[in-house]
Chains A and B, each alone.
Chain A
């Protein structure tokens, strides 16, 4: 699709973070999330359905997102996911943690 390189492997544990961040924009259905991730990351991050939907179920179970059926753009029934207050708090916490780890990794990579 747009790049020569194949889609990148996701770092383990980051999928939840990416989904939560994507939903910060507003309620979205599963396909929307995948499409948006692909678009924003300029085709670097491609999430397969086989990992997306189990991840969404996990987030639902943890109470970080909630889901509701609604009508999609082409009038079909679709399930829209929305961030909960707990989800927002989790996003903030995970984001901070992620930044800390990335900074740490950079420090290691840049050392003299």
Chain B
């Protein structure tokens, strides 16, 4: 024995020792007490026949034994283990119930895990820039002149322009490839507060025309194309035919303005090049607040400067173009339209989690009701109220923990679905993953859900009145409050389910409408290949035209090719080529600025090949060459817009800034150029087709990058390889993109919408299943509570039909309450979806009606089984059981 050790240590050590040999000590104690009693009897003998006074005097020996036993044990842990063991045994007896509970919670937790991860990456994690709270975006977009103007005049902000990006050809490094790059002010890294991982940043003054032949590259591009070689710094690469020296590599993960951007080029400011300085590309501005400046001051200044700049345009701008300019925190700007979808996702997940919780609570409640007798027995044997509540809470938390483990696994799958719903270039999305923080949050959530789901039943069970419970056979003794609470929970669950289903229904209708929408062209058996020579290679249009004609001749010679043509973009490929055009008879004023039209510069055979119907006049022909009279085709809607009451044939357009009028020779059918849901981008007034040889994409230049479009006679995929080879052989310095079927292009244009729909449909399906279980559970509970009453009714002459009707009516009442609340909620919720919808209103009557009918049917079906069971109650047995 260790005599010198501190008492507490000896105590702890001994407890552990005693715990291990507890049973032996218990026996020894019993022997000791027996000895004690015998000695006592010897010392004071009792007259025969009398009650043994020793026994009576002895006090509560059982209590003494229990007390000793407690001393030898670790009660908190042992009780927990005992509770858990008991819970496991109870769950093993009801596998169906257990499975439903665990799956319910797993669904809720899975959704929550995925959403937490997403929200963590997009909303909570600070932007990876220095003092991100001081960064703002100045709304609106500005020509380069505006960039210079803001840089010169802004006092409360340091501003920088970063264009959203465009494609560049990288040549002279093996096969030519297409890269995505942004134009940026030289100070953009200073403003964002990021330093390059390697090399240097742009220096002030590098926006001047003689010094801008430099480029910064992304970490990913450095790794993939320069093998992560530090010697890449200083290398000269050829981008769109311009030699630029690599001066730096940005840190890994830098993704501004989007994760797509691979290189950054100084945004040259040269007032001498009029079109580049005032027109060409309009760019967004970001800014860093000056040390003492507030956001409010920056907003006011941005507004004032934009209005001042508006007056400087050398050509008429739309009235009030910059009227609403302000500054918004950069984080808000980056989230942009993703926020709407995040809110929608958040709501649906929260709904499912709530439903799951309500469900489990409901199931536990009805279980507690059937276990009333058992609980009463335990209470009678001396279990305290707290002990019973703890037992029930242990059960529900155990259940929730099992659900949480399954849920985290489910969450990994759900997160990948969520990621597919959001645009891949969203900064920060890549980093979204399920990390320990999320797992910790989920564990907390599971605990909370378990406690929450267990609390109501536990409290209701703790209310059990012993005598009452035994007397009535334990079926009718809970207070109405818990039953009413449960009814309310189920009604709320039906309401949430209805909202989710309506959202899913609206999206489903949208996707269906989009799949049946006529795109205006025939996409079957059409292959597309983007070919993108440097813009500079088309400085002599004739060379470019000849080169494409040569390619077309070769392709037309291939076996299985019906027709081939080139177009500056094909419908739904994501590009948006627009051009300002003056319209004959429509003078431009600030109230009627030069309309922007969608430019389709195409081979003359293109409209016919795409099977775009001819409405009036003629198609283009091969004779519409570079030297013949310039002609154009316009779609019906454009014709109607500019000449609503007369024929468009013979009317004229001219490219803004040019003097050549082009004659409309034909009107063709409308084509969904931009999206299936939206024929043209907002702000684009119409479309115009020009023969490629006569085309002008601005400043008199013909477009260089074209897409080869080929209609084949058979669905021959092997043609793809031959076409790609032909295109590559034309010029090894010209990047050739992937061959894609036009069908695939059309269907992938709505892939993210389809994914969003899928999310909703799966959540809604889960919600419907959960709601059905919830209603079923409640009605079964209700029936089991009223067995006696129903038996009595049947005994005094109520028909089976009457019983069924009574139960169904109860179920219907519940469903009706839920549906009413749900419809109200849906009217408020669906407006967040409005931007995604097509062909259906946010309050589409058919969808609302169909979903209501579906939910009502599910509610009825779920109530039908308990009703049927109630109808089979044997009155004799029900009455005798009491």
Instruction: Answer whether A and B are interacting partners.
Output: yes
Once A49-B59, A50-B61 are accepted as A-B contacts, the answer to whether A57 and B71 lie under 8 Å apart by CB is: yes
Beta-carbon contact of B33 and A53 below 8 Å: yes
Question: For residues 594 through 624 of chain B, which have their beta carbon under 8 Å from a beta carbon of chain A?
Answer: none
Residue from A29, A54, A64 having most chain B Cβ neighbours under 10 A: A54
A31 and B67 alpha carbons, distance in the complex (Å): 19
CB distance from A26 to the nearest CB of B (A): 18
CB distance from B10 to the nearest CB of A (A): 4
Question: For residues 65 through 92 of chain A, which have their beta carbon under 8 Å from a beta carbon of chain B?
Answer: 66, 72, 76-79, 84-86, 90
B14 part of interface (Cβ distance < 8 Å):
yes
Name the one of B1, B29, B72 contacting A63, with C-beta atoms under 8 angstroms: B1
User: In this complex, what residue of B is CB-closest to A69?
Assistant: B28
Beta-carbon contact of A61 and B64 below 8 Å: no
Q: Mark A24-50, 1 if CB is under 8 A from B, else 0.
A: 000001110011000000000000111
Specify which chain B residues have a CB less than 8 angstroms from the CB of A66 in the assembled complex: 1
**B35-43, B304-312, B401-409: which one contacts chain A?**
B35-43
Once A31-B40, A49-B58, A63-B1 are accepted as A-B contacts, the answer to whether A86 and B33 lie under 8 Å apart by CB is: no
Beta-carbon contact of B7 and A62 below 8 Å: yes
Beta-carbon contact of B32 and A48 below 8 Å: no
Beta-carbon contact of A61 and B18 below 8 Å: yes
A85 and B2 alpha carbons, distance in the complex (Å): 10
A17 part of interface (Cβ distance < 8 Å):
no
Beta-carbon contact of B32 and A58 below 8 Å: no
A51 part of interface (Cβ distance < 8 Å):
yes
Specify which chain A residues have a CB less than 8 angstroms from the CB of B58 in the assembled complex: 48-50
Residue from A61, A76, A85 having most chain B Cβ neighbours under 10 A: A61
B15 part of interface (Cβ distance < 8 Å):
yes
A60 part of interface (Cβ distance < 8 Å):
yes
B60 part of interface (Cβ distance < 8 Å):
yes
User: In this complex, what residue of A is CB-closest to B63?
Assistant: A50
Specify which chain B residues have a CB less than 8 angstroms from the CB of A53 in the assembled complex: 29, 32-33, 64, 68
User: In this complex, what residue of B is CB-closest to A64?
Assistant: B7
Specify which chain B residues have a CB less than 8 angstroms from the CB of A76 in the assembled complex: 35, 38
Beta-carbon contact of A85 and B63 below 8 Å: no
Once A49-B36, A49-B61, A63-B11 are accepted as A-B contacts, the answer to whether A86 and B3 lie under 8 Å apart by CB is: yes
Q: Mark B731-770, 1 if CB is under 8 A from A, else 0.
A: 0000000000000000000000000000000000000000
Specify which chain A residues have a CB less than 8 angstroms from the CB of B40 in the assembled complex: 31
Specify which chain B residues have a CB less than 8 angstroms from the CB of A85 in the assembled complex: 3
Name the one of B7, B18, B28, B33 contacting A49, with C-beta atoms under 8 angstroms: B33
Beta-carbon contact of A62 and B10 below 8 Å: yes
CB distance from B18 to the nearest CB of A (A): 7
Specify which chain A residues have a CB less than 8 angstroms from the CB of B29 in the assembled complex: 53, 57
Specify which chain B residues have a CB less than 8 angstroms from the CB of A48 in the assembled complex: 57-59
Beta-carbon contact of A54 and B71 below 8 Å: yes
Specify which chain A residues have a CB less than 8 angstroms from the CB of B5 in the assembled complex: 63
A78 and B59 alpha carbons, distance in the complex (Å): 21
A35 and B43 alpha carbons, distance in the complex (Å): 10
Beta-carbon contact of B71 and A61 below 8 Å: yes
Name the one of B3, B61, B67, B72 contacting A84, with C-beta atoms under 8 angstroms: B3
A90 and B11 alpha carbons, distance in the complex (Å): 14
B31 part of interface (Cβ distance < 8 Å):
yes
Beta-carbon contact of A31 and B39 below 8 Å: yes
Residue from B15, B32, B59 having most chain A Cβ neighbours under 10 A: B32
A78 and B61 alpha carbons, distance in the complex (Å): 18
CB distance from B61 to the nearest CB of A (A): 6
User: In this complex, what residue of A is CB-closest to B59?
Assistant: A50
Specify which chain A residues have a CB less than 8 angstroms from the CB of B71 in the assembled complex: 54, 57-58, 61
Name the one of A51, A54, A57, A86 contacting B7, with C-beta atoms under 8 angstroms: A86
CB distance from A23 to the nearest CB of B (A): 16
Beta-carbon contact of A62 and B11 below 8 Å: yes
Beta-carbon contact of B59 and A31 below 8 Å: no
CB distance from B611 to the nearest CB of A (A): 94
Specify which chain A residues have a CB less than 8 angstroms from the CB of B63 in the assembled complex: 50
Name the one of B3, B11, B43, B60 contacting A50, with C-beta atoms under 8 angstroms: B60
CB distance from B57 to the nearest CB of A (A): 8
A49 and B20 alpha carbons, distance in the complex (Å): 25
CB distance from B59 to the nearest CB of A (A): 4
Specify which chain A residues have a CB less than 8 angstroms from the CB of B39 in the assembled complex: 31
Specify which chain A residues have a CB less than 8 angstroms from the CB of B14 in the assembled complex: 60-63
A29 and B59 alpha carbons, distance in the complex (Å): 19
Question: For residues 35 through 86 of chain B, which have their beta carbon under 8 Å from a beta carbon of chain A?
Answer: 35-36, 38-40, 43, 57-61, 63-64, 67-68, 71-72
A34 and B64 alpha carbons, distance in the complex (Å): 15
A86 and B67 alpha carbons, distance in the complex (Å): 24
A77 and B68 alpha carbons, distance in the complex (Å): 21
A56 and B174 alpha carbons, distance in the complex (Å): 90
CB distance from B686 to the nearest CB of A (A): 93
Specify which chain A residues have a CB less than 8 angstroms from the CB of B31 in the assembled complex: 77
Beta-carbon contact of A51 and B3 below 8 Å: no
Beta-carbon contact of A54 and B36 below 8 Å: no
Specify which chain B residues have a CB less than 8 angstroms from the CB of A63 in the assembled complex: 1-3, 5, 7, 10-11, 14
CB distance from A4 to the nearest CB of B (A): 18
A72 and B31 alpha carbons, distance in the complex (Å): 13
Once A49-B64, A53-B68, A61-B18 are accepted as A-B contacts, the answer to whether A30 and B32 lie under 8 Å apart by CB is: yes
CB distance from B621 to the nearest CB of A (A): 107
A44 and B480 alpha carbons, distance in the complex (Å): 57
Specify which chain B residues have a CB less than 8 angstroms from the CB of A31 in the assembled complex: 35-36, 39-40
Specify which chain A residues have a CB less than 8 angstroms from the CB of B3 in the assembled complex: 63, 84-86
Specify which chain A residues have a CB less than 8 angstroms from the CB of B64 in the assembled complex: 49-51, 53-54
CB distance from B757 to the nearest CB of A (A): 67
Residue from A48, A62, A63, A72 having most chain B Cβ neighbours under 10 A: A63
The 10 closest A-B pairs by CB, nearest first: A63-B10, A50-B59, A50-B64, A54-B67, A48-B59, A31-B39, A61-B14, A31-B36, A57-B68, A85-B3
Q: Could you list 9 further interchain pairs (A-B, Cβ under 8 angstroms) beyond the known A29-B35, A50-B64, A63-B10?
A: A48-B58, A49-B61, A50-B58, A53-B64, A54-B67, A61-B11, A61-B15, A66-B1, A90-B7
User: Could you show 19 A-B contacts with beta carbons less than 8 Å apart?
Assistant: A29-B35, A30-B32, A31-B36, A48-B59, A49-B64, A50-B64, A50-B67, A51-B64, A53-B64, A58-B71, A60-B14, A62-B7, A62-B11, A63-B2, A63-B11, A76-B35, A76-B38, A78-B35, A84-B3
